[in-house]
């Protein structure tokens, strides 16, 4: 089985072309390949599949084998994969995901995709749809007790659930200590991705993320999008911001039409072949 290792600002995935390859158990394969000592190493695997409603279909599996609805960094690399491999000649494509059909506009330089702009769709704020076990129409700057510490969070779904926590400083104690506790907190029945964000200015935010099923990753496109929405909802940021993540920067815009747009790079790392065993 052939694969391609790719990353979007350090959020790395193993891509498999299921137009040509068959994957019987993608969850188990993701666990095996994602291991950074005994496998290829990555935050999960992404499958390129056929779609009846879009140009392609993307399936994404976390490092623990669980399937996720959407991945912002992953879908930029997905677009690069299908263009660079000649599976499409269109510089704007549609991709079916578990969070609906997404449109990706590619920036092509020298015949290869360098960056991509993704229409992430409309943010979901209803607690029942995110889901969050709280009443109301939206959860904005709400208190939450995580074991011994009180935080304030804003809940946003970008097709997958996010808990955005604005803090004065971001450190390992927050991300590595409290990230796993947020993920499995009783308020989040489907678990949750948690973004710890520090506002630098109304147009600039620093962020680290604990992703459900993968732990801390160097970047999260849906998470950066959720931070952009939460920043506006809490009055901390403007509608267009730069988000600094451990692996690099993303440009986020919550546009007037209520759609969130994410722009960032996509990179190929290497290609290889897997044993069938």
The catalytic residues are: 71, 220
**Residue 269 — φ and ψ, nearest 5°?**
-95, -60
The dihedral over CA atoms of 17, 21, 27, 32, expressed in degrees to the nearest 10, equals -90
Q: Are 260 and 120 in contact (CB under 8 A)?
A: yes
- How far apart (Å, rounded) are the C-alpha atoms in residues 252 and 114? 17
Question: How would you write 97-159 as a 3-class SS string?
Answer: ECCEEEEEEEEEECCEEEEEEEEEECCECCCCCCCCCCCCCCCCCEEEEECCEEEEEEEEECC
Tokens of 221: 């496109």
Residue 34 DSSP SS3:
helix
* Pairing outcome for strands 240-245 and 215-217: unpaired
Question: Beta partners for 245?
Answer: 248
Helix-helix angle 72-84:221-233, to 10 degrees:
140
What are the residues whose beta carbons fall under 8 Å from the beta carbon of 132, sequence distance 6 or more? 139, 155, 161, 187, 188
Question: Beta partners for 153?
Answer: 142
């Amino acid at each position: 089985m052939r694969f391609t290792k790719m990353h979007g600002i350090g959020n790395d995935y193993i891509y498999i072309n299921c137009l040509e390859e068959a994957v019987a158990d993608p969850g188990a394969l993701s666990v095996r390949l994602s291991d950074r000592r005994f496998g290829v190493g990555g935050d999960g695997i992404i499958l390129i599949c056929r779609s009846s409603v879009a140009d392609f279909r993307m399936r994404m599996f976390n490092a623990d084998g669980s399937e996720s609805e959407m991945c912002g960094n992953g879908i930029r690399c997905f677009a690069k994969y299908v263009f660079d491999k000649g599976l499409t000649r269109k510089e704007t494509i549609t991709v079916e995901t578990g969070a609906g059909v997404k449109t990706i506009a590619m920036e092509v330089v020298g015949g290869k995709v360098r960056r991509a702009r993704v229409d992430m769709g409309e943010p979901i704020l209803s607690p029942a749809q995110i889901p969050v076990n709280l009443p109301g129409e939206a959860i904005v700057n709400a208190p939450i007790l995580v074991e011994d510490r009180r935080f304030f969070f804003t809940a946003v779904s970008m097709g997958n659930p996010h808990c955005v926590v604005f803090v004065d400083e971001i450190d390992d104690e927050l991300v590595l200590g409290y990230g796993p506790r947020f993920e499995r907190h009783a308020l989040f029945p489907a678990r949750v991705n948690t973004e710890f964000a520090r506002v630098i200015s109304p147009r600039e935010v620093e962020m680290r993320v604990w992703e459900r099923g993968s732990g801390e990753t160097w970047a999260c496109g849906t998470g950066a999008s959720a931070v952009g929405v939460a920043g506006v909802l809490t009055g901390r940021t403007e509608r267009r911001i730069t988000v600094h993540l451990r692996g690099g920067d993303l440009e986020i815009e919550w546009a007037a039409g209520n759609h969130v747009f994410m722009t960032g790079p996509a990179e190929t790392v290497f290609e290889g072949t897997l044993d069938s065993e």
